[in-house]
């Protein structure tokens, strides 16, 4: 039996959409892209990878905040 991880499938879709040439997009196409990225974020958030990405982003934001003061 073949199983597909939904997060991996959505990540592949996001990567393929990024590789497309930049051209005027419809509002529906923009909303579809936003929805895919939000769902991917919700699927990755509770995983170990999601927690490590969150830690990196938090450190980056703290570094930027300290540098600006």
What DSSP element (H or E) covers 6?
helix 6-19
pLDDT mean across residues, the chain: 80
* The predicted structure's pLDDT at residue 45: 80
Instruction: Tell me the whole-structure pTM to 2 decimals.
Output: 0.56
pLDDT at 6 over 80: no
Total domain count for the chain? 1
Residue 1 lies in a domain: no
3-state secondary structure the chain: CCCCCHHHHHHHHHHHHHHCCCCCCCHHHHHHHHHHHHHHHHHHCCCHHHHHHHHHHHHHHHHHHHHHC
Tens digits of residue pLDDT in 22-51: 676 788 888 888 888 888 887 778 888 878
Residue 59 lies in a domain: yes
Q: What is the spatial distance between Cα 52 and Cα 48, in angstroms, rounded to a whole number? A: 6
* The predicted structure's pLDDT at residue 16: 84
Residue 50 lies in a domain: yes
Domain that holds residue 47: 6-68
């Amino acid at each position: 039996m073949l199983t597909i991880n939904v997060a991996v499938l959505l990540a592949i879709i996001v990567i393929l959409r990024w590789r497309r040439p930049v051209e005027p997009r419809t509002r529906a196409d923009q909303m579809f892209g936003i929805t895919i990225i939000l769902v991917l974020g919700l699927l990755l958030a509770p995983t170990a990878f999601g927690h490590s990405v969150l830690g990196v982003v938090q450190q980056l934001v703290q570094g930027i905040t300290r540098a600006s003061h």
